[in-house]
Structure 1
Amino acid sequence: MRVLVIGGYGLIGGYVLSRLHRQGHAVVGAGREIRMAARRFPYARWVAADLAAMRRPQDWAPHLAGIDAVVNCAGALQDSPRDDLRAVHVDGALALYRACAAAGIRRVVHVSAAAVGAGRETAFNATKQAAEAALAGLDLDWVVLRPGLVLAPAAYGGTALLRGLAGFPGIIPAVHADSVVQLVSAEDVAEAVGRAIDPAAPARIALDLMHPDPVRLAELLVALRGWLGLPPAPVLRLPTGLARISAVASDAIARLGWRSPMRSTALAQLRMGIAGDGKTWQRVLGLRPRSLAEMLAGWPSGVQERWFARLYFLKPLAFAALILFWLASGLIGLARLDQAAAVLRDAGVPAGLAVATVGIGSAVDLTLAVLACFRRSAGPALLGMVAVSAAYLLGGTLLRPDLWADPLGPLVKVIPGAVLALAALAMLDER
């Protein structure tokens, strides 16, 4: 079969794509940002497709030629400048499914989420429910799969946060530590999709995908810490008020394009728990899901997992330090323009040119600090920080080589800042 996988480079989508390929299917991946995906999954054909922008069936028609089945793994957690829940979960998805019906593509697998039923009042839950209801009204052989909390050797979003908490030095900080969650491995989700696209598989059915045995969040974090190979540490139960503060801050940062897993929707889902029917899908699809112990035993951790866990909270700290450093550099330069220009005048630079140079340099510093605040421009800003640091060092060496021996180290201290910018650039990817 030729299968179109929407969101084929995400956490679940990547495993689904790989499973279908190994199953012998021809796979076509679709998503908003496909350049890296094409390098990661060279066996797939890739098409640029944005659910949020493709809200009419005719938008999808060109991508459905020759397709036998469609799997939709795309989704978003919360509205932000980068994500529109209604457009992604409902409008775009419904347009796709209507296009499938018009093209005669019967088999559609819709990957939703567990525990999005009534009584869970978030936009995430509401739009997930609306999408399932809209799909149920179409004349298609649809299957809705609702994974629980998905764990995988790779980490992204909420599971990445769990690893960061598990790897925290000395303690395991946890909000809603007693919340109950039911887990499922990404590999079991992919296997379920592989079986659900079979034309002979049951259709017009919704299945929860999760191990039937629930675990508490604190238990999960302790298990992950042991899996990382780190010494045991006590679970520090944080007050819910701190969670609300974190959610407000994360929601604010999301307006700059950063999709933190600590946003209000994620914390609300965690507070309410993630549970469902972990038995029916085993009977219908003939699968026995892996338990938490079996998952971790099958994914031996290495140094890269420990690096990731330990760097998780250092990443935002590195960005904050760089932004504040360059902001302070620019503001101090402008506030003490004459004193800063005197350094250049002492090297023989004309007074007017010295003042202009300091003013322009301060403006560049402030610009880089502002650009680094936004996810879209953070990469170029970090490269700019490295380039400007190199220019400072070169200019200082040519004009004031004596500053290398200055006890306060004005030139020497530029080097660690440039290295930190390179480290932040290396950690910039989200998935």
Structure 2
Amino acid sequence: MHILLTGSTGFIGRSVAAALIRAGHTVHGGVSGRRPAEGALDVPMDFARDTAPAAWLPRLAGIDAVVNAVGVLRDTPARPIDAVHHLAPAALFDACAEAGVQRVVHISALGIEASGTRYARTKRAADAHLLGLAAQGRLRAAILRPSIVFGRGGDSSSLFMNLARLPVALLPGPLFTARVQPVAVHEVAQVVAALLGHAGQTEGIVECAGPEALTLAGLVASLRQQQGRRPARLLRLPDALTQLSARLGDAVPSAPWCTETLQMLGSDNVGNPAVFEQLLGRPGVHYRQLVAAAWQ
């Protein structure tokens, strides 16, 4: 098939593109319209501005399926989170329905149902819009909701690996309580390929989660052990200092740490991996094997 993949140069998008090409598809990679296209199949686009279906219709000519892998952690003037997570994807989904593109795979996030953060609200809005189109029979939609996605090239993965190298680490309190189910990035990509192949009739929400949950502090400790290092001393940052550090992060738009991130870390990011494992054809990589399986 000819597949339009938005976010093709991002952490997850790169792995998805590779998996789709291995499966024999032709990938038309969405790239930022602020820089020149490098490949013949690159498709310039701007999720900050392309918030009307008319902007997407020309890009869907000859396209059989769409995969949306665009996402941001926080709101910035260059990448407003409401546009990037909700308005532009909704316009793309509407254009798919209008153009007759029947299959849409959308990568969302786990743990957004109970969260009041702007990140979660905008993610939920796009999910609901796509599910509404599917309920009307206008297209077939699959929404992937992954927990923490681990792999080389991921910002959060690099952060956790760097923390795991420290003999003493001072971590925010929520990292000792909130649970996650880490998943390898290449397995998320494999499931996207499956949804555009043998599992093409699978619809609805697919929770992408590893076989076992643990806290983020536990993940850091496990990553350290997987590197053959002696156990580290993990200390809890006092709540007042945690709040202060997050507010300081608010003043740095490029920083991943901010009050919104702190709020997101306050809730579990776990799910049922049954459908994910069914699409993989096996259990996912266990968190104890992430370095060997996804960091090489």
| Matching residue within 153, 159, 166 for 1:161 | 159
Change (3 A) 1:238 1:6: same
Change (3 A) 1:71 1:105: same
The higher radius of gyration belongs to: 1
In 2: Cα distance, 1:243 partner to 1:36 partner: 41
Per the TM alignment, residue 163 of structure 1 is displaced from its structure 2 partner at its CA by 2.2
| Native 8 Å contact 2:179 2:270 kept in 1 | yes
In 2: Cα distance, 1:267 partner to 1:83 partner: 20
Q: Deviations over 1:307-350 (max 9, x none)?
A: xxxxxxxxxxxxxxxxxxxxxxxxxxxxxxxxxxxxxxxxxxxx
SS in 2 for 1:280: helix
| Match in the other structure for 1:185 | 184
Change (3 A) 1:191 1:300: closer
| Match in the other structure for 1:213 | 212
Per the TM alignment, residue 167 of structure 1 is displaced from its structure 2 partner at its CA by 2.5
| Match in the other structure for 1:389 | none
| Native 8 Å contact 2:181 2:271 kept in 1 | yes
Per the TM alignment, residue 200 of structure 1 is displaced from its structure 2 partner at its CA by 5.3
Per the TM alignment, residue 21 of structure 1 is displaced from its structure 2 partner at its CA by 1.0
TM alignment of 1:4-23, pairs within 5 A: 4-23=4-23
In 2: Cα distance, 1:121 partner to 1:299 partner: 31
| Matching residue within 123, 130, 134 for 1:135 | 130
In 2: Cα distance, 1:293 partner to 1:79 partner: 33
In 2: Cα distance, 1:300 partner to 1:203 partner: 30
Q: 2:62 matched to 1:62? A: no
Instruction: In structure 1, give the amino acid aligned to 2:149.
Output: V
Per the TM alignment, residue 298 of structure 1 is displaced from its structure 2 partner at its CA by 2.4
Which residues of structure 2 form unaligned runs of 5+?
A: none
SS in 2 for 1:253: coil
Per the TM alignment, residue 247 of structure 1 is displaced from its structure 2 partner at its CA by 1.1
In 2: Cα distance, 1:155 partner to 1:289 partner: 18
| Matching residue within 164, 170, 174 for 2:171 | 174
TM-score w.r.t. the length of structure 1 is 0.63
SS in 1 for 2:49: coil
SS in 1 for 2:266: helix
| Native 8 Å contact 2:187 2:280 kept in 1 | no
| Matching residue within 60, 72, 76 for 1:76 | 72
Per the TM alignment, residue 82 of structure 1 is displaced from its structure 2 partner at its CA by 2.4
TM-score w.r.t. the length of structure 2 is 0.91
Structure that is richer in helix per residue = 1
| Match in the other structure for 1:125 | 120
In 2: Cα distance, 1:182 partner to 1:150 partner: 9
Per the TM alignment, residue 293 of structure 1 is displaced from its structure 2 partner at its CA by 2.0
Change (3 A) 1:271 1:152: same
In 2: Cα distance, 1:94 partner to 1:300 partner: 34
Change (3 A) 1:207 1:200: closer
Aligned residues: 290
| Native 8 Å contact 1:94 1:135 kept in 2 | yes
| Match in the other structure for 2:284 | 289
Q: Deviations over 1:254-275 (max 9, x none)?
A: 1xxx2x2212222222221211
Instruction: In structure 2, give the amino acid aligned to 1:143.
Output: A
Per the TM alignment, residue 142 of structure 1 is displaced from its structure 2 partner at its CA by 0.5
Change (3 A) 1:172 1:37: farther
| Native 8 Å contact 1:227 1:300 kept in 2 | no
Q: Deviations over 1:215-245 (max 9, x none)?
A: 1222211122234454432111212222211
Q: Deviations over 1:16-68 (max 9, x none)?
A: 01111111111111132685984xxx6x7211101221111110111111111
| Native 8 Å contact 1:179 1:273 kept in 2 | yes
| Native 8 Å contact 2:19 2:189 kept in 1 | yes
Instruction: In structure 2, give the amino acid aligned to 1:171.
Output: V
TM alignment of 1:27-426, pairs within 5 A: 27-32=27-32, 38=38, 45-118=41-114, 120-138=115-133, 139-156=138-155, 158-168=156-166, 170-175=167-172, 176=174, 177-198=176-197, 201-254=200-253, 258=254, 260-283=255-278, 286-299=281-294
| Native 8 Å contact 1:161 1:261 kept in 2 | no
Structure that is richer in strand per residue = 2
Which residues of structure 1 form unaligned runs of 5+?
A: 302-431
**Deviating more after overlay: 50-59 vs 174-183:** 174-183
| Native 8 Å contact 1:114 1:274 kept in 2 | yes
